Amino acid sequence: MKINDVILRTVTKAVVFIILTLGVYLFFAGHHAPGGGFIGGLVLASGIVLLYLAYDIETVHKGMPFDFKKVAALGVLLATGTAIGSLFFDVPFLTQAYTYIDVPIFGKMGFSTVTIFEAGVALTVVGVVVTIILSISEDE
Amino acid sequence: MVTVLIAILLPFVCAALIPLLYRRLRRVTHLGWFVISVPFILFLLLARYIPQLAEGKTFIHTYEWIPSFNINFTTYLDGLSMIFGLLITGVGSLVILYSIFYLSTKESLHHFYCYLLLFMGAMLGVVFSDNLMVLYTFWELTSVSSFLLIAFWHHRKASRAGAKKAMMITVFGGLSMLAGFLMLYVASNTFSIREIVANVGVIRDHALFTPALILILLGAFTKSAQFPFHIWLPDAMEAPTPVSAYLHSATMVKAGIYLVARFSPVFGGEAIWFWLVSVVGLVTLFWGSFNAVRQTDLKALLAFSTVSQLGLIMSLFGLGSVGHYYGYGESSILYTQASFAALFHLVNHSTFKGALFMMVGIVDHEVGTRDIRRLGGLMSLMPITFTIAVIGSFSMAGLPPFNGFLSKEMFFAAVLAIRDVEAFSIADVGLFFPIVAWVASIFTFVYSLILISRTFLGKLQPEKMDRKPHEAPLGMLISPIILCLLVVGIFFFPNVLGHYILEPAMASIYPTFPTTSELTPHIYAWHGINTELLMTLGVIIIGIVLFKTLKSWKPLYRIFSQKYTFNTFYNRMIEMSENGSEKLTRKYMTGNLTHYFVYIYVFFVALIAGYFIWSDAMTFHFDRDSAIESYELILVFVMIFAAVWMIFAKGRVTAMLLNGVLGYSIAFFFVIFRAPDLALTQLVVESVTTALFLLCFKYLPDLMPEVPRKRIQWSKAMISIFVGATVTIVGLAVVHYDRFEPVSIYFNDAYELAGGSNIVNTILGDFRAFDTMLEVVVLLIAGLGVYALTKLKPRKEEADHEN
């Protein structure tokens, strides 16, 4: 049975951008407002899953030729890397540092190593969720 | 002293580099040429400190690792660790040189050398660590790398079995040793061996002192293959010969002896230590040599001979511990010379046994068999190998002019001296020691003769050999020749070794004695006609007689029925524990999801509700609760409706959508209670899981309407109600629970401490970042697990790995 999914595809085209933008926004908002690495990653993943639902795997893979297992691995590497990195500055494991820098146009902005850590979390979530959904749906 | 730290870390670093180098190097040259540089450089680095150690200096270096638990990476270089360090790196270099010619480039060399370097680093870690926990970690790592190396040819069933057996026995010992270490820690409040030695007077009266002694000895005995744990060593001979020469004769099996030597200042004066170490050592000495005689495989013969020689060294340390009982005095050299002989024989054994193992490897490599029933007459075809065999065997048998003669004579002197000791009521069984030692030496002489004559003398049997025998290539001969030169060299200049290497080690074993120079006897090859020399002569005469009449008394071995060997006992035990655990597991792992849920929920209710009732924490105060709004009531009713409907739902999709209703309602509650983070997460998680469920359900058959018996239905209902009640009551009670210090105080200062005003995220990313980090790792593992389960199904032809 062939499902007519014109509506789904058309909606997806527009909605995916909103979802992905929301995901990125949530990721950066996390420091001072609701959001963060986990939720940001989850929203990004749900956007990608929506793409897979609307289109077939090959089409999406052409647009995003990532191996999502590697994305997840990269995420874990970032998360553990920032943890180990603190040892090189002679502070306890997993110490996070932050500072405020005046950036032209944006004004005073906070920079923190937590962002790298959270990026690791987000990438792991995206990688793992997509990997699981792809492996189950590709299974014969 | 950073050198020692480098010595421990360099092999590990190089082991990590091997996978990268392997692809580049495999075309150009043998990987071994790179690996050999590691032990060689370390040998030179360590050797530079010999003169300073001979002057009585020691070097200590501490890197604080986990100071809150008293676990520090403390390296300690003294005489005792120096001997082992030199053995590990020295024999290591020779063995790797040998392996370059022994293993062809077609073997998976990157695995082999990676494991070998791993072992080298771990072994150096064992002997240089002052901290008990660090020592234990490296100790187990040697067991692991030994396991990997024994199973190097893992397509062979015997290799895998041997590796498993070695692992089981040595790790069993390692774990009991860990328990012993922890007891020592309780008694002394320190993990540092030096501090324990310094405070031994206080520790000795502690109730855990004797249990710790026994448990630590268990670790030492299993590692050093002492009776009755020796059974793993002959099976470990399935490893490639360089591994047998290195791990299973020169270094790893001596870790137990190192431990005994290292702890003799702590336990040395105890009667139980003396009896256990010396008697177990002597029994091992006898049993090993007695069994070596009947072996037909050259490597098995050498394995039993190693067992026996390890027993000899062990018993000497036992005899030497009497010196601790008497303390420093006029006559202390009478007893301390036993420890000296132990150290001396330790070095000698590594030289001659290393050469012999390499010799057997050469025979195996060039002839294609190492069964003495198929060998013979190789003397004229392999003259250099024959010379190596003669030098090694005669040294092992205790004949001049080889180093084994000197240490064997000192061994006899030590067992003779022990007759006159009045402590520990030794005098009652005084003759036991010399007699066992002497009988065991006769058997040693016999199997040394068998080793030479059955391989090299007699008639050549070319029809039984796989290949046409010829002399080995020069590269394979270099290492054993160097070892043979040492065998002869030590005989002629024993006191150089004694002064520079053995004397500083004596200071480590007897740290309380003011001077060690008088503890170090001057070694003479000729000391006049005395009892020791007569004993050696007796060994030679009776040994030759026994060898000539071997056929007539060999049936003696058949008296020992196969039913009652230690191997059958071990196999029976393994089989029983495997069957028992399988039976137990099958009882509750039924494959039925409902059963698993029952276990989980019953356990949950029993633990949580049980704790709250037991600790009398079920207190409720409703006075401070806020009023319940009408829209909250609506949400609650929606949830109740969905939950009840779910029980009666006919299809999976319906049930799953109703589950979604529950999830989204909870998200609403989060919104109402002003937890936007949680609400957001709950919403997205709910959406993604719903999508996942829909995907999975496509592959499942339709839900079968099952009508279980009434009783089961009721019990399930009861469990559900109990779980619900527990969650509700606990939820209400925890609001006023005040048994623990609240951990949330510092969250108030989140902005100052972590620079973020979203407290939830500062908890996740900063305060409790360790949890988050490990959760991320778990998530990756789970994802890879799903991938592996669905994608990597075993191909049919690969299902059978047995050969």
Residues B244 and B273 in one domain: no
Is B512 within 8 Å of B265 (Cβ atoms)?
yes
Measured between beta carbons, which residues in chain A are less than 8 angstroms from residue B685?
A: 42
| Average pLDDT of the segment spanning B603-623 | 84
Residues B354 and B272 in one domain: yes
Measured between beta carbons, which residues in chain A are less than 8 angstroms from residue B688?
A: 42, 45-46, 49, 129
User: What pLDDT digit, counting tens, does each position of B723-741 carry?
Assistant: 999 998 888 888 777 777 7
Q: Under an 8 A CB cutoff, do A112 and B757 touch?
A: no
* Alpha-carbon distance values, B56 to B49, B59, B220, B262 (Å): 11, 10, 27, 17
Residues B536 and B613 in one domain: no
Residues B172 and B211 in one domain: yes
- Mutation target among A74, A78, A94 for the B interface, most CBs of B within 10 A: A94
B467 contact partners, CB below 8 Å, separation of at least 6: B366, B367, B368
Residues B229 and B299 in one domain: no
Q: Which residue of chain A comes nearest to B760, CA vs CA?
A: A34
Residue-by-residue DSSP string for A29-92: HTTTSS--HHHHHHHHHHHHHHHHHHS-HHHHHHH----HHHHHHHHHHHHHHHHHHGGGGTS-
- Mutation target among A15, A136, A138, A140 for the B interface, most CBs of B within 10 A: A136
Q: Under an 8 A CB cutoff, do B769 and A35 touch?
A: no
Residues B260 and B331 in one domain: no
Q: Which residue of chain B comes nearest to A48, CA vs CA?
A: B688
Q: Would residue B652 count as lying in a domain?
A: yes
CB pairs under 8 A between A and B: 137
Q: Which of B72-86, B460-474, B564-578, B664-678 has the lowest mean pLDDT?
A: B460-474
Residue B122 above 90 pLDDT? yes
Residue B290 above 50 pLDDT? yes
Measured between beta carbons, which residues in chain B are less than 8 angstroms from residue A133?
A: 691-692, 695
Measured between beta carbons, which residues in chain B are less than 8 angstroms from residue A98?
A: 754-756
User: What pLDDT digit, counting tens, does each position of B636-667 carry?
Assistant: 999 999 999 988 887 888 888 898 899 999 99
Kindly state whether B774 is in contact with chain A, defined as any CB-CB distance less than 8 angstroms: no
To the nearest whole Å, the CA of B766 is away from the closest chain A CA by 7
Residues B465 and B374 in one domain: yes
Q: Which of B24-33, B225-234, B554-563 has the lowest mean pLDDT?
A: B554-563
CATH number at residue B753: 1.20.120.1200
Q: Would residue B717 count as lying in a domain?
A: no
Residues B622 and B637 in one domain: yes
Residues B389 and B445 in one domain: yes
Burial of B476 (0-12, 13-18, 19+ CB in 10 A): buried
Q: Would residue B707 count as lying in a domain?
A: no
Interface confidence, given as ipTM, is 0.90
Kindly state whether B193 is in contact with chain A, defined as any CB-CB distance less than 8 angstroms: no
B33 sits in which H/E element: helix B32-35
Q: Would residue B313 count as lying in a domain?
A: yes
Residue-by-residue DSSP string for B554-585: GGGGGGS-GGGSHHHHHHHHHHHHHHHHHHHH
| Average pLDDT of the segment spanning A5-31 | 87
Final residue in a domain of this structure, among B242, B267, B292: B267
Give the residue, B403 or B23, on which the prediction is more confident.
Answer: B403
Average pLDDT value over all residues in chain A? 83
The whole domain housing B197 covers: 1-267
| pLDDT of res. B561 | 62
Closest partner CB to B776 (pick from A34, A35, A120): A120
| Average pLDDT of the segment spanning B693-715 | 76
| pLDDT of res. B684 | 86
- Mutation target among B692, B780, B791, B792 for the A interface, most CBs of A within 10 A: B780
Q: Under an 8 A CB cutoff, do B758 and A79 touch?
A: no
Is B221 within 8 Å of B256 (Cβ atoms)?
yes
pLDDT band at B801 (very low <50, low <70, confident <90, very high): very low
- Mutation target among A128, A130, A134 for the B interface, most CBs of B within 10 A: A128
Return the exposure string of B336-347: e unless at least 16 CB atoms fall within 10 Å of the residue's CB, then b.
Answer: bbbbbbbbbbbb
pLDDT band at B776 (very low <50, low <70, confident <90, very high): very high
Residue B695 above 90 pLDDT? no
Which residue spans within B475-577 are E strands per DSSP?
none
| pLDDT of res. B302 | 92
| pLDDT of res. B802 | 41
Closest partner CB to A133 (pick from B687, B692, B765): B692
Give the residue, B67 or A104, on which the prediction is more confident.
Answer: B67
| Average pLDDT of the segment spanning B342-366 | 91
Closest partner CB to B769 (pick from A110, A117, A124): A117
Measured between beta carbons, which residues in chain B are less than 8 angstroms from residue A84?
A: none
Residue B803 above 60 pLDDT? no
Q: Which of B205-219, B339-353, B649-663 has the lowest mean pLDDT?
A: B649-663
Residue B520 phi/psi, 5-degree rounding, is -95, 105
| pLDDT of res. B795 | 59
Q: Cβ–Cβ contacts within 10 Å for residue B716, how many?
A: 15
Q: Would residue B78 count as lying in a domain?
A: yes
Q: Would residue B203 count as lying in a domain?
A: yes
Calpha distance B607→B404 (Å, rounded): 65
To the nearest whole Å, the CA of B757 is away from the closest chain A CA by 5
Q: Give the ranges where B152-238 is alpha helix by DSSP (H).
A: 157-188, 193-198, 200-203, 209-223, 232-235
| pLDDT of res. B605 | 93
| pLDDT of res. A1 | 44
pLDDT band at B798 (very low <50, low <70, confident <90, very high): very low
| pLDDT of res. A111 | 72
Q: Would residue B555 count as lying in a domain?
A: no
Give the residue, B704 or B544, on which the prediction is more confident.
Answer: B544
Calpha distance B540→B446 (Å, rounded): 9
Kindly state whether B556 is in contact with chain A, defined as any CB-CB distance less than 8 angstroms: no
Residues B760 and B746 in one domain: yes
Q: Would residue B718 count as lying in a domain?
A: no
| Average pLDDT of the segment spanning A23-42 | 84
| pLDDT of res. B800 | 42
Is B233 within 8 Å of B306 (Cβ atoms)?
yes
Q: Which residue of chain A comes nearest to B788, CA vs CA?
A: A135
| Average pLDDT of the segment spanning A119-133 | 90
| Average pLDDT of the segment spanning B344-371 | 90
Q: Which of A78-82, B209-213, B576-580 has the lowest mean pLDDT?
A: A78-82
Closest partner CB to A96 (pick from B677, B684, B765): B765
Calpha distance B180→A107 (Å, rounded): 62
Q: Which residue of chain A comes nearest to B758, CA vs CA?
A: A32
Kindly state whether B67 is in contact with chain A, defined as any CB-CB distance less than 8 angstroms: no
Domain total of chain B? 3
User: What pLDDT digit, counting tens, does each position of B368-397 carry?
Assistant: 888 888 888 888 888 898 999 999 999 998
Q: What single letter denotes the amino acid at residue B389?
A: A
Give the residue, B125 or B330, on which the prediction is more confident.
Answer: B125
B414 sits in which H/E element: helix B403-417
User: What pLDDT digit, counting tens, does each position of A65-123 carry?
Assistant: 888 889 999 999 988 888 888 777 777 777 777 777 777 776 666 677 788 888 999 99
Q: Is the pTM of this model over 0.95?
A: no
Final residue in a domain of this structure, among B214, B236, B267: B267
pLDDT band at B799 (very low <50, low <70, confident <90, very high): very low
To the nearest whole Å, the CA of A105 is away from the closest chain B CA by 22
Residues B272 and B381 in one domain: yes
Kindly state whether B779 is in contact with chain A, defined as any CB-CB distance less than 8 angstroms: yes
Final residue in a domain of this structure, among B267, B296, B313: B267
To the nearest whole Å, the CA of B655 is away from the closest chain A CA by 21
Residues B106 and B127 in one domain: yes
Kindly state whether B680 is in contact with chain A, defined as any CB-CB distance less than 8 angstroms: yes
Q: Under an 8 A CB cutoff, do B761 and A30 touch?
A: yes
